[in-house]
Chain A
Amino acid sequence: MRRLIAAVLALIALASFAHAKETLTIYTYDGFTSDWGTGPKVKAAFETQCDCTVDFVALPDGVALLNRLKLEGAATKADIVLGIDTNLTAEAEATGLFAPYEVTASALTVPGGWSDKTFLPFDWGYFAVVFDGEKLKADQFRSLKEFIEKPGPEKIVIEDPRTATPGLGLLLWIKAVYGDQAKDAWEKLKPRILTVTPGWSEAYGLFTKGEAPMVLSYTTSPAYHMIAENTQRYQAFAFAEGHYMQIEVAGMTKSARNKELARRFLAFMISPGFQDLVPETNWMYPAGPISKPLPAAFDRLVKPAKSLIFSSEEVARNRKAWTEEWLAATSR
């Protein structure tokens, strides 16, 4: 009996010891935490060096992530928020919930450099018109202008900028290239649009079903098909004006229980231990140094001549007006 009590006491002690282990709570989007995503590998790798437990809370996407944070406010359980993109960082910053990262960011490899002090990038990519190689050739469209202004029967499925991040990406891309003429450009593009879907999944689903030979996606989408499905069928057009960028970032909250731990995670995030995983699990470009070369398929991807991007503040200021402009041009 006495031995039993001792055993129980030992167990309790052990349990409370285990409990004493720090927990790092990361809010992210669910593509990141899925079984084959970056998340599980990151968790395993970081836990071996931090003597802590990494807990993911997964939300549908970056926008949902920011909204969740706005709802929770200072009471949020998040120590780290990982997965909003630069179109949203101004709004995220404005919530006042984020703390500066205070980590050396000099090794970052994001095109155009990095100056934000609150959010750190973990990966990036370019939006692109992805086409079906069985129906179109890579030289069909050599620029965004050709794509918009050259008439033809080839249709594209795009996402709705009111509901989906890639949809907003195309809106900003056209704005970056056409400026004040964006409305005309949309009117010219309209006959090419087969349909406008609420999210990326619907658009990509229609595209791979063969409904349209083109879809708005990323320059890195073909890498998935080359590596995971071993097919060259899907490729992206290279547009001469350059491609609009998406940079995905993470930040730590002011309410983070252990700021030191959160900082260690952010430092880990931009190190090879994390960055090596990005290309083949998140299908984006790494934002920091990697210890092994990019997979061969990445060499075959479109390398835009120019990276287009608006500052986060510009997007926050104009998104509504530009969306309305789009609506007016395409609704008739």
Chain B
Amino acid sequence: MTGAASGGIAVVAVVAALTAAAFVPLIGHARTGAPLLDFLMAPYTLRITRFTLLQAGLSTLLSVGFAIPLARALAHQPQFMLRGTLLRLMALPLGLPALVGVLGIVEVFGQRGWVNGLLAAIGLDSRLEIYGLTGILLAHVFFNMPLAARMVLSGLEAIPYESERLSAQLGFTPAQHWRHVEWPAVRQVLPGTLLLVFILCAASFTIVLTLGGGPSATTLEVAIYQALRFDFDPGQAVVLALLQLLLCASCYLLLGRLGTDVDPGMTLGARAQPGSRGSGRRTGDWLLIAMAGAFIALPLVAIVISGLQAPLASLLAQPAVWQAASTSLAVALAATALAMAAAWLLAAARRDTLRMRDPPRWRRALDKVGGLVAGLTLAMPPIVLGAGWFVLALGFEGPFSIAPAAVVAGNALLALPFAVRIIEPAMLGHAQAYDRLVLSLGIKGLTRFRLIDWPVLGRPAGLAAALAMAMSLGDLGIITLFGSEDFLTLPYLLLQRMGTYRTTDAAGLALILGGLCLSLIWTAEWMARPARRSTP
């Protein structure tokens, strides 16, 4: 057994153990004799399952549908002012608690939002009504399209220089270029992107209820929350959580067929710098980038404007704010480190399997299970994880002593799929290109990591870390069970202020949280910036 394989097994085992540690104690707390099967087949459950699938499916199609042309436009225009800023802003929505994002969206697109103000100002009678499916889709596209675009862009940026040059020499039309050069690269990252966005939308809670306009917009996550709150029926919550996992797993299996084996062939590894294209193409690109940029930036601008009206100086003078910020930072860093390490181990195990001419059965099984595990941790409702761990902790030390560990572990599980989806395709492609050379030169271990892997994998790793950190920073799941005066994060503090009439404080905290998130994204990507080198 290679080191990589045991690493992969260890990751799968830990994730499985963490999941079991949540589900088993809850099942132990289930009301005995509760007709769970009846409940599963009840019209209510069927209806919300249908709605969950509908809204998540549509949200995913729209988000990824807009993300692909945007990523292409960004790939075609590798150098323009604010490009770096735009790319970083694109990771930001992930780091915003849903409530903050929703208020930003409402400020722009709501009843009395900027868009409706504009429509009225130019004398149009029609108004934008977002409450209902429209609002849910709008918000999900805001939260997920930028993420999807960055993932697709990372696929496009992995297109080797030779392909671009060949395409130019052959005089490919944009359509041919798309078909023969870009699509194969997009296809590599597409299943992972679709799956992530689908899970994020399927498990959406605050957005769906707040913008959904009424209880006809109810997802499984709402029912899970309901089951654990007023009804306090952990058995029901576990059944619903399993149903949600099942839906996402089917999605994973369906999407698995979409992917292809990696075969970039031998290249020099230089990144493409596409030359000039037709000016018409340029205009199209700019138009797309400007529109998408505005769509992403406007709600963020609204959040900044509200935040600037808050008494920022007095907020920053409060020890609670600093304590929450440093807790958030520590949790995000720890969770990201764990998620990155786990993702790297899983990807390396997969790489080693692919390297074998005839891998043993168990290794193929490990790949499959590893993929499934890493893909689905995001679909586990944090409230179920938290409640389960809480019950488990009662038997031992008590929940408060494990609070930091529980929150870090939960956030690492949330971040793991992002890290895997980004690191794995990059690592597999890179291995195919370099393995033979590296093996023949006998470069191994850390030397290989430093000289061969990091220069190329650093950039996707940076993106993965940035997304993982954003995800962890904005999380409001497990902390709501484990939070206390001594242990509270920025989003939790924000929610507290919001719940006690202090809406301006909350707006200020949202700005601080956004700033912290952006600087973390910046740092992660800066640390992982590609090393300058002429030829390999």
Contact = CB atoms under 8 A, between A and B. Distances in A.
Given A31-B496, A31-B499, A202-B210, A332 B216 contact: yes
A234 B123 CA distance: 30
Nearest to A329: B215
Contacts of A224: 501
Interface string B107-126: 10011100000000000000
A71 to B, nearest CB: 6
A195 B213 contact: yes
A224 B222 CA distance: 31
B503 A205 contact: yes
A267 to B, nearest CB: 25
A196 B503 contact: no
A190 interface: yes
A64 B386 CA distance: 13
Contacts of B225: 163, 198
B427 to A, nearest CB: 40
Interface string B93-134: 000000100110011001110000000000000000001000
A331 B500 contact: no
Contact of A198 (B29, B131, B209): B209
Nearest to B25: A71
A195 B500 contact: no
A195 B214 contact: yes
A258 B66 CA distance: 63
Interface string A2-40: 000000000000000000000000000011011111000
A241 interface: no
A228 B110 CA distance: 27
A195 B499 contact: no
B394 A198 contact: no
Interface stretch (A206-214, A246-254, A269-277, A293-301): A206-214
B391 interface: yes
B215 A201 contact: no
A60 B211 contact: no
A55 B111 CA distance: 45
A30 B231 CA distance: 22
A57 interface: yes
Contact of A193 (B209, B214, B495, B497): B214
Given A31-B500, A195-B213, A330-B214, A60 B111 contact: no
B481 to A, nearest CB: 8
Contacts of A155: 111
Contacts of B112: 209-211
Contact of B209 (A60, A66, A196, A211): A196
A283 B499 CA distance: 12
A146 interface: no
Contacts of B500: 31, 34, 36-37
Interface in B165-224: 205-206, 209-216, 218, 222
A163 B226 contact: yes
Nearest to B135: A195
A63 interface: yes
B390 A71 contact: yes
Interface string B468-486: 0000000000001001110
A101 interface: no
B226 A162 contact: yes
Given A30-B496, A58-B485, A63-B229, A71 B210 contact: no
Contacts of A195: 131, 210-214
A67 interface: yes
A194 B222 contact: no
B206 A202 contact: yes
A34 B496 contact: yes
B214 A205 contact: no
B387 to A, nearest CB: 8
B318 interface: yes
B71 to A, nearest CB: 32
A238 B167 CA distance: 73
A160 interface: yes
Contact of A206 (B106, B212, B222, B320): B106
A35 B315 CA distance: 12
Contacts of B44: 327
B394 A75 contact: yes
Given A67-B229, A71-B394, A194-B131, A209 B106 contact: yes
B230 interface: yes
Contacts of B394: 71-72, 75
Contacts of B39: none
Contacts of B222: 160, 162-163, 198
B484 A57 contact: yes
Contacts of B213: 193-196
A20 B405 CA distance: 30
Contacts of B47: 331
A75 B395 CA distance: 9
B478 to A, nearest CB: 12
Nearest to A331: B216
B498 interface: yes
Given A31-B496, A160-B215, A228-B501, A197 B29 contact: no
A30 B487 CA distance: 13
Contacts of A175: none
A204 interface: yes
Contacts of A259: none
A196 B214 contact: yes
A66 B231 CA distance: 11
B58 interface: no
B228 interface: yes
Contacts of B131: 194-195
Contacts of B526: none
A33 B496 CA distance: 10
A201 B498 CA distance: 6
A56 B485 CA distance: 8
Interface in B224-260: 225-226, 228-232
Contacts of A198: 205-206, 209-210, 222, 225
Nearest to A202: B210
A209 B107 contact: yes
Contacts of A41: none
A124 interface: no
A193 B212 CA distance: 11
Nearest to A32: B500
Contacts of B218: 331
A303 interface: no
Contact of A67 (B232, B498, B502): B232
Contact of A204 (B106, B230, B501): B501
B99 A194 contact: no
A199 interface: yes
A330 B213 CA distance: 10
Contacts of A327: 44, 215
Nearest to B110: A211
Interface of B: 29, 44, 47, 99, 102-103, 106-107, 110-112, 131, 205-206, 209-216, 218, 222, 225-226, 228-232, 318, 320, 387, 390-391, 394, 398, 400, 480, 483-485, 495-503, 506
6 contacts: A63-B230, A71-B390, A163-B209, A206-B110, A206-B210, A331-B218
Given A206-B210, A211-B111, A326-B215, 14 more contacts: A35-B320, A64-B480, A163-B222, A194-B111, A196-B209, A196-B214, A201-B495, A204-B503, A209-B110, A225-B501, A320-B231, A330-B214, A331-B215, A332-B216
9 closest A-B pairs by beta carbon, nearest first, are A201-B498, A162-B226, A331-B216, A198-B209, A210-B112, A31-B500, A201-B499, A224-B501, A195-B131
